[in-house]
Amino acid sequence: MPDSTALAAPGRWRTVDILTCAVLAVAFGVVFWAWGFVWAGLEPALLFYPPLKSVLNGVWLIPAVLAPLIVRRAGAGLFTEGLAATVSALLGAYWGVAVIYQGLLQGLGGELAFAATRYRRWNTAVALLGGALSAVALALFDLRNSYPDTGLWEFKVPYFVLALLSGALVAGLGSKALVKAMAPTGVLDRFPAGRERARI
């Protein structure tokens, strides 16, 4: 049996690929919008150690990893994450239109992990890397625009490290788990991820 993590590079986008990414984007756009209120509600509880708020960031990174794992097309992470951020902005995201720029950067970060393999590997290691790189984009954007005056070791470094962990575990490992959970239902049968009954 061939190695399921080393498939031929994907070709042109199909209509089903575009529709799947769009549906994921709309669904996660609503999740993003709602998660903003959850984040705002939990922020006061984390004031004893402010960098801890970064552990909540992984949820915003899931489409950047999940979409490429499912459709296996170059640009899927960027497209889906960017569109999800746009949907959340249209719904009235907590941070306004700035989330669109951040979503595009996060999608690009996740995309880099799959591009590094020339879109040939879809295993757990690549998913973890995708989540982590997406988190790098998120953390750098946050630290530059929201927390420019915070201390390096007191806030910036732990915030960055916690963002990486959240991205790798929630977006990376979490996306692999979602694919594995969906595959047996048959909803992914039109994609390699479904036919392989993806493994973690």
| DSSP track, 70-100 | HH--TTHHHHHHHHHHHHHHHTT-TTTTHHH
Quick check: is 150 in a domain? yes
Instruction: State yes or no: pLDDT of 137 exceeds 70.
Output: yes
Consecutive H or E run containing 16: helix 15-42
pLDDT of residue 199: 46
Quick check: is 133 in a domain? yes
Report the SS3 class of residue 191: coil
Quick check: is 160 in a domain? yes
Quick check: is 60 in a domain? yes
Quick check: is 22 in a domain? yes
Give the domain extent around 165.
15-195
Q: What is the pTM of this model?
A: 0.89
Return the structure tokens found at 157.
Answer: 């470094």
Return the structure tokens found at 189.
Answer: 């049968």
Q: What angle do CA 150, 151, 153 make, to 5 degrees?
A: 140
CB 130 within 8 A of CB 68: yes
Mean pLDDT value of segment 156-160: 97
Q: What pLDDT, in 10s, does the model give residues 12-58?
A: 899 999 999 999 999 999 999 999 999 989 989 998 999 999 999 99
